[in-house]
Amino acid sequence: MNDTADQNGADSGRPDAPFEVHPLRDLLVGEVHARPFRPVEAPRVLHHMAFQSRMAADEDLESLSRFCKAHGALPPGPGARHHVVTLGGAELRWERHTEFTTMTLSVTPPPGDPFAAPNISSLSAFLPKPPGPLIVATRLALVPLEDDMPNLDVFDPSSLCVSRADNGGAVIATDFRPDPSGFTRMLVANGRLQPARLGALVQRLLEIETYRTLSLLGLPEAQRIGPIVDGIEDELAGLTVRMTEEAGLRLSRELLERLVALAAEVESEGSGATYRFGATRAYWELVTQRLISIREERIPGYGSVEGFLARRMKPALRTCDSVERRLSDLSQKLARTSNLLRTRVDIELESQNRDLLDSMNRRARLQLRLQQTVEGLSVAAVSYYVVGLIGYLVKGAEKVLGIPFDPTLATAAAVPVIVLLVWLVVRRIRSGHDDGGPRDKSDDLLDGL
């Protein structure tokens, strides 16, 4: 009633050696066997669905374990990323990838039309709880090739792709359009492929459909960011024109603030878009590799899968590449413009500092002249008062001593001596202040003058 694929973390391959084994050895060795091809035989119908992984890996694995136990199947091992469960005549293949989880339900087709199977909602009873929203839904019908060409009436002729695959061993057909039940349809008519080779071809076709859909997740992001990039580029052009036509420190600061805001907006938009655009390139690489591996051969009168995808997918991929390049170029332009503006601000600040120093020099010269004037006036005033005191002293001495001499002449003779002595005292006081007193920047500036 139940069946499982290889369980991760098995110790069967661990060597019995007297040295330490790397803890990731089992994981690394088992990675090449993580998603083996499942042999399959016609007739068979595979319902392949991919869900975005919004659920934690442990929670997703626990949901699968509950589903297996509810149906009497063996649950997956710890940390498993691949598990297969057999439910009667049906088989469920579960795989967890980096950002999505796939579930492929393989059943025996009903009589008649192999695509006349249940819709997506009716299959929920045969699936564990999805980890997120549905992204991919494909129904692949595997039938024996009875004639040279299978019946293609169910497909839309306007987008029908028919070709031979795997060195002509099978005929594949699809129109990449969802049917009324919500599935895109693929037909594989097996001519001479063995079950293992047929299983490999089926898995690669399902991977082509999965990865080509996931690669287009970058297109809505590019369409959303495109107008934002247009607006920022236009504003940047306007700011650059203002830089060339106007000047001033205040304006430069306003422009620099706006440039920084624009750069922050570009980085904010680019941080999420970079991952999405990188994933788009990676998924398209996988599509290209899978197209090579199926060895497709064109059938005259029909388009090939590779040609159809190249024609329909390349414009969307180029749009993503273009927006990604524009984001990168815009970020560099903003950085260069900001550097130029910062340089201009620095030059303007240096000019202001030079003018300020010139102004300080002028004020220092005026202060020095004022100080010299004050010193001269101080010498004259002190000398005047000292000469007056000497005049009174001389007049008194004439009367007290009774010595005949002219007081006016004695006072006049004392004037040069007194002025010289006062000037020397004032100079000594200033010299003593300069030598022993505290100094500041103004003193250094005066010394330089």
Sequence spans of domains, the chain:
25-196, 218-354, 371-448
Task: Write down the pLDDT at residue 133.
Answer: 93
Task: Write down the pLDDT at residue 381.
Answer: 78
Bridge partner list, 184 = 138, 178
Is pLDDT at 311 greater than 70 in this prediction?
yes
Q: Which amino acid is at 121?
A: S
Task: Write down the pLDDT at residue 282.
Answer: 93
Radius of gyration of the chain (CA): 47
Mean pLDDT, the chain, integer? 82
| DSSP for residue 201 | H
Tens of pLDDT, residue by residue over 130-164, are 899 999 999 999 999 887 788 888 888 988 999 99
Pull the structure tokens for residue 365: 């010269």
Task: Write down the pLDDT at residue 10.
Answer: 42
Bridge partner list, 103 = 49, 94
In DSSP notation, 341-390 reads HHHHHHHHHHHHHHHHHHHHHHHHHHHHHHHHHHHHHHHHHHHHHHHHHH
Question: Please, which pLDDT band fits residue 28 given cuts at 50, 70 and 90?
Answer: low
What's the rounded mean pLDDT across residues 8-37?
62
158 vs 413, residue with greater confidence: 158
Tens of pLDDT, residue by residue over 70-83, are 888 888 888 888 88
Q: According to DSSP H, which parts of 185-299 are helical? A: 195-215, 218-245, 249-293
Is pLDDT at 250 greater than 90 in this prediction?
no
Tens of pLDDT, residue by residue over 198-236, are 999 999 999 999 999 999 999 999 999 999 999 999 988
* Residue among 65, 64, 72 nearest 1 (CA): 72
Contacts of 167 (CB under 8 A, 6+ apart): 295, 297
Q: What percent of the chain has pLDDT over 70?
A: 86
pTM attached to this predicted model: 0.71
**Residue 90 · residue 46 · CB < 8 Å:** no
Is pLDDT at 323 greater than 90 in this prediction?
yes
